[in-house]
Amino acid sequence: MAERIGKRDKRPAPSGDGAPTIPFEFEPLGNEFEADHLTETQVEGGLRLTWPLIGKSVFLPDRDGKSAAEKFYVDLDTIEATNPQLKIHALGGFSLGDYHEFFIHGAPAHRAYRIGKAEVSFGQGTPLMARLFWGVYYEKYWGEWSYRTCLRIANCPPDAVERTVIAAILSYRDEIGSLPEVLQIDLEKLIYEEELDTEEGGRGVVPVGPTITDLEPLRFYLAGLQSEDDEAACLSFYRVLEYYAFMQQAEQITALRRDRAVSDAEFTRKTVDLASREEKGPLFRLLQQITTADMLATARSEGAISETRQDQLNEGIYAYRNSIVHGKFGSAFTLRSQSVLIPDAAAGVWRDLLHDLAWAALQNLGSKA
C-alpha cells in the first residue's frame, strides 16, 4: 500500500537533535546472546534478565524441570503472568512499564522521532525483543535479525502507547512516503518485505509537533490508510467524520446543560430536538466547516460532483456512503456493487476525497497533546 498514502508527498525531516537512546543498530546483533547486551542473574525459581541500557528487567521462571537460562525459552504466557509490568501483544511485540517494542514491516529506513515526552525509533530489533521472542522467530520466514525492523518506544505510559504508535507511523509516512504496519510473526500472516536501508550518519531524534490523542478516530484513519480495498477505506475515513460530527453534537448538549438561563423543560426539549435530527445534519455541518476550496475543486475535476458546490459534496458523500453500506435499493442513493472484471475508478476518487476530509477533521477538531 506504499503507493496510496492519501496524496501526501513525503517530506524531508530536520536533521534531529541527538542520537536516539536506543541505537538504530546493535553490534554485535541483538540476537547474539553471548554478547552481554543483557545481564543474567540466577534467582530463586528462575532467571532475572536485565537490559542496563533502559534499566528494565524481566523474570524468566524455570519450567518443567528446565532452567530459564535456556536460550530458546519461549513460554510467553507464563512470562507475562509472572511479570506484572510486562504485557505481550500477541506475537507482535511487548510492553515493559514505559518501554514498548513492536515488530514492523514496511519501514525501509531507520528513523527516530520525539512525540511528546516519548522517544520512538524505527531500527533493529533490540536484545530484549530477541530474547523474549527468539523461540518463535524463524529467520527462514521473517528474515535475518540484522534486517528485522522494530518500533522501539521509550518513556511512554501504557495508556498512551497505541496513539503513540499511530503518531509514529504517520510521522514516518509523512517523511518517507511508505506506511509501516505492526507485524505479527504468525506464519499464517507471512509478509515478504523490502530490504532495510541503513540510516545515514548524523541523523538524530526529530521532534514531532502536537499529536492527536483521540484514539477511536485515529484507529479509523489508520485502518483506511492500510486498507487494500477502496470501499473499505472509504468507510473507515467516513467513520472519522461521523465521530467528530457526533462529538460536536454532544458538545452542543453539554453547553445547554451548563447554561443556567435554560430551564429544565427547555433543556429537555432542545436535547430531544438535537438527538432526533436526521443523521446527515451534523455531518453536513462538519463538512461545511472543514472543506476547503481545493477539496471542492478536486471533487469537481475528478467527477465526484458536477458543480463546485458544498451542498453537492455533502449529498454526494452521504449518498456514496449509503450506496456501499446497504444491500438494498433506496430512493436517496444508487446501490453499488463492484465488478470483478474491471476496477472501480469512482471508489478511488472517493477514497482520496474522504481521506483528505478525515485528515482535516483530525487536524482541526482532534484533541492534541
Among 112-126, 152-166, 306-320, 342-356, the range scoring the smallest mean pLDDT is 342-356
| Rounded mean pLDDT, 23-38 | 88
Better-predicted residue by pLDDT, 315 or 247 = 315
pLDDT of residue 187: 73
Please report the pLDDT score of residue 5 as a whole number.
46
Side chain identity, residue 115: I
Whether the bond between 28 and the residue before it is cis, its omega within 30 degrees of 0, is: yes
pLDDT for 271: 52
Which is nearest to 349 in space by CA: 313, 310, 309?
313
**Interstrand relation of 56-61 and 99-105 (parallel, antiparallel or unpaired):** unpaired
Q: For residue 109, what pLDDT is reported?
A: 92
Which amino acid is present at 112?
A
Arithmetic mean of pLDDT, 233-239: 96
Window from 144-158, 266-280, 335-349 with minimum mean pLDDT: 266-280
Looking at residue 262, its pLDDT comes to 59
Q: Is the pLDDT of residue 2 over 50?
A: no
DSSP 114: E
* Per-residue pLDDT, 161: 96
Q: Which residue has the higher pLDDT, 312 or 271?
A: 312
Q: Where does the pLDDT of residue 333 fall: very low under 50, low under 70, confident under 90, or very high at 90 and above?
A: low
* Least confident interval from 80-84, 322-326, 330-334: 330-334
pLDDT at residue 64 greater than cutoff 50: yes
311: cell is: 451542498
Rounded to an integer, the average pLDDT of 38-53 is 92
Q: Are 62 and 163 in contact (CB under 8 A)?
A: no
Residue 175 has pLDDT above 70, yes or no: yes
pLDDT on residue 7: 44
- The amino acid occupying position 11 is R
Q: What is the distance, to the nearest Å, from the Cα of residue 183 to the centroid of all Cα atoms in its chain?
A: 12
- Over residues 78-121, the pLDDT tens digits come to 899 999 999 999 999 999 999 999 999 999 899 999 999 999 99
Q: How does pLDDT run across 267-296, given as a tens digit for each residue?
A: 555 555 555 456 788 899 999 999 999 999
Q: How far apart are CA 253 and CA 114, in angstroms?
A: 37
Burial (0-12, 13-18, 19+ Cβ within 10 Å), 363? exposed
Q: Give the rounded percent of residues in the chain with a pLDDT score beyond 90.
A: 55
Identity at 133, one-letter amino acid code: F
Q: Residue 100 has what pLDDT?
A: 98
Residue 63 is predicted with a pLDDT of 79
Amino acid at 98: D
pLDDT for 145 beyond 70: yes
Between CA 265 and CA 67 the distance in angstroms is 71
For residue 6, count other CB atoms closer than 10 A to its CB. 18
Q: Is the pLDDT of residue 196 over 80?
A: no
Name, in order, each residue with C-beta under 8 angstroms of 241's C-beta and a sequence gap of 6 or more. Answer: 283, 286, 287, 317, 354, 357, 358, 361
Q: Are 73 and 60 in contact (CB under 8 A)?
A: yes
What is the model's pLDDT at position 330? 63
CA 304/CA 355 separation, integer angstroms: 14
d(CA 286, CA 9): 26
- Which amino acid does the sequence have at 217? P
Alpha-helix runs per DSSP H in the chain: 76-81, 127-133, 139-142, 161-176, 215-226, 230-258, 264-276, 280-290, 293-301, 310-325, 345-365
Q: Give the chain's mean pLDDT.
A: 84
